[in-house]
A and B are shown apart, each in its own frame.
Chain A
Amino acid sequence: MSSRKVPDTKKSLPSADAPSEKVFFVVPTLVVLWSHDQRAMAGLREGVQRRLAPLAEAGALEWIGPFSSEDEITPEGLARACETLLSLDLWRRLVERGYQPDLPRTGSPVSLQVVFLVDRMGAESEGPPLKVIQEAQKLLARRARLAPILVWLGSQPEPAPQNLNAYWPRIRMEPVAAGGFAVNPLQVLAAAEHLLVALMGSDFVRILGSIVKESSTEWIVLGASALMLHPHIEGWLREAVLGEILAPLVAPLAETEIDRIEKAIGERARQVRESLLEEASAALKESGWGVEIEHLGIRKCILQKAALLEALFGAYRGGITAEPLSRRDGKNWPRQLLSLISALAEPFFPGQTIGETLYHNYRELSERLEQWLGEKWRGLAPRAREEYQDIAVLLGSFLDRGLVAQISPEKRPSWWFTERPLPAGIPAAITALLALQKHLCEGNDLEDARGPVREPVRPAPLNDDAYLRVAGDTDAQIVRENLLRYAHFARTLASPWGVLLYLIPAWPLGTFLIQILVHWEPAPAFLVTGLALLLIGIAELAYWWLWKARSLLKTVQRNAHRALASRVMTLTARAIQDYRYWMLSRLREAECVLVDLYAAFLQRYAATKEPSRSLRKVRSQEVNGCTYLMVHKGEIQRWKREAVEALQQYPDWKGESGPFESAITARIVARVWPLPEQPLPSQAMLEELESASARVVRECAPHPHQYKAGVVAEMEVDPLKGGKRWNWLWQRAYPLGIVESPGAEFTIVMAPEEALSGPTGRESPYWQPDWRAALTLQGQEEMCIRGIVERKRGE
């Protein structure tokens, strides 16, 4: 390895045993994997990437493979993989982050480290083409200088592979320990992972170079052990935080709560219908129809357009306005009587154009109720939109109570603030949505309350121009038929002159009869008979004309007008139904969005249970024979609590749309439903949530000086306290491999500077004086690598 020594930088880490050289610089590394075991290599790669995350993120770590045949690996492919490490941007990044002191000098090639990891522990495969790195070096010529390192997992190859000497160091780890003990291949892989981390994240190669002489060394047999923080803690913590955040959102509802929501929403649905009817009544008034409403019923619906009334019913409209003849009016009384008599005597018959007139009135009404005019709807549309927004906000309050503040005080539901407020969460919001849809689907928009019995008004089947035209013609015919009924009746009534003509012959007859029966004189009999006939005629005329005919005229006018009012009500019901359907369609969309979100959240919440359980159960423990995973339970509890609080108060989200109770629900309300026009897909929302969760978990992470494997070991793990961890590390780093010609043995420890100082560091009785310490990037880990040099045969 070749690294340039430069004065210390912020990111470079000090070394304990070389005060003058307490820096090392990272060399971009390409790892070439050669193995049949794809899964093992993937695990290896993932572990190294995770532990060397800063380097991996900077791009200083590249991987190719795993290859298992010579055809797959070519010098060209290797050279191409190296190209990414030759990027000027990468090197600038490395300089900026302090991983390199400066860009390479002009004219001198860039140094790259190539680790050729050969796994021969599993199925026998053909020998790796070690020469490929030399050929790639030729292709890269003067651009790069490759430093090849060989890590051989498996028994010693016989004969030694060609080009073996081109690699330095040449490291071998076998599933058989130096004493002949059998070792689990998983331990070999774990040791290989520690070794790779040491190769790339520490000064290990330089220290090794200072201990081992390359020319006399065939192989270096190594064992490695590590004391590290549990690698999955952060991931599990992310899941646990996510689970705690999602739990109240996806909590199921009890039946009683569902009933309470349905009842409360039913009341609101009725208010929506009443509001729409109230708006419709205003449109009706504008169209000349005076209405009185009571809840959902229309108690009175009277045509008030004088011109239309005149065209339909003539001057007298006693059956519609029900104005009694009033003697108090003085002068008007005779005029009214004359007007009445005239209307009775000369039945009004509407013209042929009343169908057209009615059509125009219906169209005007329909347009006032629901018409697209100048890029905006008029009539019920603004009210429907306003109501939808109000109920959307109201339903959104089931997600976050903070939304209640956005509802106007008069529409704010009082039941929200009772002793037992309604439940919150996505299931509650969905239940409320479904309940609202149910209540808006059921029942009637309008009731005809003009009569003693309230009857539902069926909406008009259509409201297009053709329908309105037909409705106008039909209703005109109804008006005509009713007025014709009166005309037929009136035609059978005699006038005073007619009655007089019929009564005249009765005069002499009556006179003679009185003379005969009562024996009166002719003159008084004549006079009395005449007077009697006059009274009879007047009485009967008054009865038939002013009582019967007037009553019938009123009845037919009332019937005709009732038919017109019924039509108007059906058109109104149709308009209300249309807007109700519009609201239902919007609610349906909202339901889909929420259900989708709920399903995604629920699934995600279910997925968090296992990691959360793992987080609860996890303890500091030894794994795979050479690794001790440390868990600081107290710190994790604090970490989790703070992360949950931070996520609930996530400032990027909570400040977005007003005083919300939770940042998560604020985000849902602002980006998914009900505030945004274009809802964010649930998966995107979930990704945002996961990203935020990861961010707060990272931000709430323990202080690096507090949360280190060594510190945790000293605090939490009794067998490792008081410097015993050095002993544990040394023992677990037992060299893996049988050495034929053993040379020097060495121990290199990679630990942060502060871990090496003090009574639990170098001053510990468990620390051996011949151990060497290497600088390392891994501030939270402590590693130990033990090795035995296998000398070249014949030396």
Chain B
Amino acid sequence: MAWLYLLLVLLVFYTPIVGLGPSLLQKDFEITISGLHLPIPFTGSLRLLAYSLLAWWLLWTITLWIERRAEFDIFYWIDRRLSALHLRERWIYATRPVFSIQLAVRLAKIGMVISLGQAVGALLLGILLAVTVPQLIQTVLPGLIESLMARFPGAGWVETLVGWLSGPLMEWLIGPIMKWLHNALGSLLGPAIPSLFAVSVLVFVASKVYKQEQVERYRAGIREMQRRRQQGEKRPTIG
């Protein structure tokens, strides 16, 4: 059921265009400082992830609880009703085709890696854009020019160097570098990254749980089969 509920949650939250995902992604958590509402970036995706995980977990847990309480296996029931599907044999217990079965999980792992990598990259770029380069322009380079002029007054090469630092370098940092950093950060902070991260985490978690559920259901199935076989056996009687 973990996987089926994953499908349901994906359908509800992550279907492109029509899913609830985009709307939730835009709702970042906000903090209020001196009456000013400041959104915390990327918390929308965390919210989406949290909601979807919660929904999935609640659905799975409740179903599992009901099944245990009612001593009822929903897949037996489905297989009886829709015998052509053979859900248990042809889906839960199946291990082949390996690539197709593992594709979603592998994509989830790739997605997590990419999304986390992009998050780290965005953080680094943000630091460069917001702190490092402005500090270089505003503080480090002027300080350097002053100290050079003070230590080597009248030197020709100093004048040339200072001219290059205050001229072309400063313009390069203020112009192309800052623009490139801004663009790179923009591309890393695209709208698909949070969704990818949330879906990847959800699929990954669900697959882990589903694997465990597979094992348990398999064992339960064997126990049930043994129980039925024992019931069908004729025991020898004495006397």
Interchain CB contact (< 8 A) of A516 among B95, B99, B193: B193
Could you mark each residue 510-550 of chain A with 1 if its beta carbon is under 8 Å from any beta carbon of chain B, else 0? 11110111010011011000000100110011011000000
Segment of B28-36, B64-72, B82-90, B128-136 in the binding face? B82-90
Interchain CB contact (< 8 A) of A509 among B15, B101, B200: B200
B104 within 8 A of A: yes
**Could you say which residues of chain B place their CB within 8 Å of the CB of A537?**
97, 100
In the complex, which range does the number of interface residues on chain A fall in?
35 or more
**A505-B203, A506-B104 are contacts. A494–B96 as well, Cβ < 8 Å?**
yes
Which residues 176-191 in B have Cβ within 8 Å of A in the complex? 187, 190
Interchain CB contact (< 8 A) of B93 among A492, A509, A513: A492
**Could you say which residues of chain B place their CB within 8 Å of the CB of A533?**
103
Which residues 454-513 in A have Cβ within 8 Å of B in the complex? 491-495, 497-499, 501-506, 508-513
Indicate the member of A511, A512, A533 with the most B CB atoms within 10 Å: A512
**A492-B95, A509-B108 are contacts. A502–B101 as well, Cβ < 8 Å?**
yes
Say whether B199 contacts A498, CB under 8 Å: no
Q: How far is the CA of A474 from the CA of B203 in the complex (A)?
A: 49
**Closest Cβ of chain A: how far from B105's Cβ, in Å?**
8
Interchain CB contact (< 8 A) of B196 among A499, A516, A541, A544: A516
**Could you say which residues of chain B place their CB within 8 Å of the CB of A544?**
96-97
B54 within 8 A of A: no
**Could you say which residues of chain B place their CB within 8 Å of the CB of A517?**
114
**Could you say which residues of chain B place their CB within 8 Å of the CB of A495?**
85-86, 90-91, 94
Interchain CB contact (< 8 A) of B103 among A345, A536, A543: A536
Segment of B4-12, B138-146, B154-162 in the binding face? B4-12
Say whether A512 contacts B192, CB under 8 Å: yes
**Could you say which residues of chain A place their CB within 8 Å of the CB of B193?**
516
Main secondary structure of the interface of A (DSSP, over half): helix
B3 within 8 A of A: yes
**A493-B90, A494-B90 are contacts. A499–B190 as well, Cβ < 8 Å?**
no
Say whether B90 contacts A508, CB under 8 Å: no
Q: How far is the CA of A502 from the CA of B90 in the complex (A)?
A: 11
Say whether B16 contacts A522, CB under 8 Å: yes
B118 within 8 A of A: yes
Indicate the member of B14, B85, B192 with the most A CB atoms within 10 Å: B192
A-B pairs with the 5 shortest C-beta distances?
A498-B91, A495-B90, A494-B94, A540-B97, A512-B196
Residues of A in contact with B (beta carbons under 8 Å apart): 345, 491-495, 497-499, 501-506, 508-513, 515-517, 519, 522-523, 525-526, 533, 536-537, 540-541, 543-544
List, sorted by A's number, 24 A–B pairs whose CB atoms are closer than 8 Å. A492-B93, A494-B90, A497-B87, A497-B90, A499-B97, A501-B4, A504-B7, A505-B7, A505-B10, A505-B199, A505-B203, A506-B103, A506-B107, A509-B111, A509-B196, A509-B200, A515-B192, A516-B190, A516-B192, A519-B187, A522-B16, A525-B16, A536-B103, A537-B100
Residues of B in contact with A (beta carbons under 8 Å apart): 3-4, 6-7, 10, 14-17, 85-87, 89-91, 93-97, 99-101, 103-104, 107-108, 110-111, 114, 118, 187, 190, 192-193, 195-196, 199-200, 203, 206
Interface contacts beyond A493-B97, A515-B192: sample of 10 additional A-B pairs, CB < 8 Å, sorted by A = A493-B96, A494-B100, A497-B90, A499-B100, A499-B101, A509-B104, A509-B199, A512-B195, A522-B17, A540-B100
